[in-house]
Amino acid sequence: MRASVEPQSYVIASADRIQTPALAIYLDFVEHNITTTLQLLGGNPNRWRPHIKTAKIASVIRGLVERGVPQFKCATTLELLTACEAGATDVLVAYPCVGARATRVREIALAYPHMQISALVESVEGIEAFAGSAVGLFIDVNAGMDRTGVSEESIGAITDIAKAIAHRGLRFRGLHYYDGHHRATDLEARAAEAHRGYDRLLGIVNHLADAGIEVEEVITSGTPSFPAALEYKPFQSAKFLHRVSPGTVVYNDFVSLSQLPEQFDYRPAALVITTVVSRPLDLIVTCDAGHKTVSADSGDPTCAVLGHPELTPIHPSEEHLPMQVATGARLPEIGEQLYLIPRHVCPTVNNFDHALLIRGQEIVGLSKVDARGREKPIA
């Protein structure tokens, strides 16, 4: 863990009254992480379009808006609605919207006419779901993750989609280029891979310009490729608005802190408080933080134990998290509380109905995790 992370600063006064497992959001560190991100962006909040799949709490989203970041990405209609109600002014649903989902996005756009709500498209046919609406459209370009989007090599198809958007009287917002597959441990190698992709992306922009199509905005870079985007000089002089979209940096997690340069000075701001409930073997203790608490989607260990490198979480079950205790180390007592840094914070936040709000080392509030889960599947 980073030298700047002091375990003692996370210990909550009167924590013995907390029923665990519990999600704790440390507001001082949230604000620190927002400040750090804005500083890395040269003090320009207009360059950041965070993904709110991480934040999920309306008051945290409002905090971003108050710092000059009213533009977001989201994946679900509940996240979209939460952002609208929290004061956002520009939200992109960065997920394929088809069928009833597209209809719901249109409904929300009608209910919030002062907002610019946008969606992704990856075909001419997909445009029809938004015909006659005020929903703006970004073309989703497949940067190499191979989960959605038009191949970056299919420049002709991208051009046809952009022309069709204008022909249907809709607003072409720009290009969405999520390059989250660049995860090389070596930062220089990761940046080189990302920059080759950005070169291809600029080729698409130039081709569209030659066809008389102006690209208003280009969105790249979740957390892993965020450092690479900062170093790519053509983005700094581009005619289009370039925005990065890391959302994890608001809270951070075990993985993001390992992916980002230490000099960025991010802090973990969302921890899970857990309690030791059993000592089944000589060097095993078990806590109440299984995979229904700390997400296991990114593999084992699902978390790190703050201030306790001698404890190694092993594979969890639904409600149990066993930990291996290093030989010779003190065995935690039953009833002892531990503080966990999730490996993947976004789905971990989504596991909780409520979050403790911490300032200093005091509990200052209890917040609903507003964008947890989804809206009802049918009205």
Neighbours of 29 (CB within 10 A): 23
Q: Which residues of the chain have pLDDT under 70?
A: 1-4
* Within-domain flag for 205: yes
In angstroms, the first-to-last Cα distance of the chain is 46
- Name the token pair of 28: 């001082």
Radius of gyration of the chain (CA): 22
* Within-domain flag for 292: no
Q: Are 93 and 117 in contact (CB under 8 A)?
A: yes
- Whether the link from the prior residue into 301 is cis, omega within 30° of 0, is yes
* Within-domain flag for 233: yes
Q: What are phi and psi of 116, to 5 degrees?
A: -100, 105
**For the segment 116-142, what is each residue's pLDDT rounded down to a tens digit?**
999 999 999 999 999 999 999 999 999
pTM: 0.97
- Name the token pair of 121: 């498209």
* Within-domain flag for 305: no
**pLDDT, the chain, mean:** 97
Q: Which helix (H) or strand (E) holds 23?
A: strand 22-26
By residue range, what is the domain housing residue 180?
Answer: 89-245
Instruction: Check which CATH number belongs to the domain holding 192 and give it.
Output: 3.20.20.10
Q: How far is CA 306 from CA 2, 6, 11, 337, in A?
A: 11, 9, 10, 11
Beta strands 150-151 and 241-244, pairing class: unpaired
**For the segment 360-372, what is each residue's pLDDT rounded down to a tens digit?**
999 999 999 999 9
**For the segment 235-278, what is each residue's pLDDT rounded down to a tens digit?**
999 999 999 999 999 999 999 999 999 999 999 999 999 999 99
Of 223, 306, 282, which Cα lies nearest the Cα of 257?
A: 223
* Within-domain flag for 101: yes
* Secondary structure class of 136 (helix, strand, coil): strand
Bridge partners, 118 (sequence order): 92, 136
* Number of domains observed in the structure of the chain: 1
Q: Are 124 and 160 in contact (CB under 8 A)?
A: yes
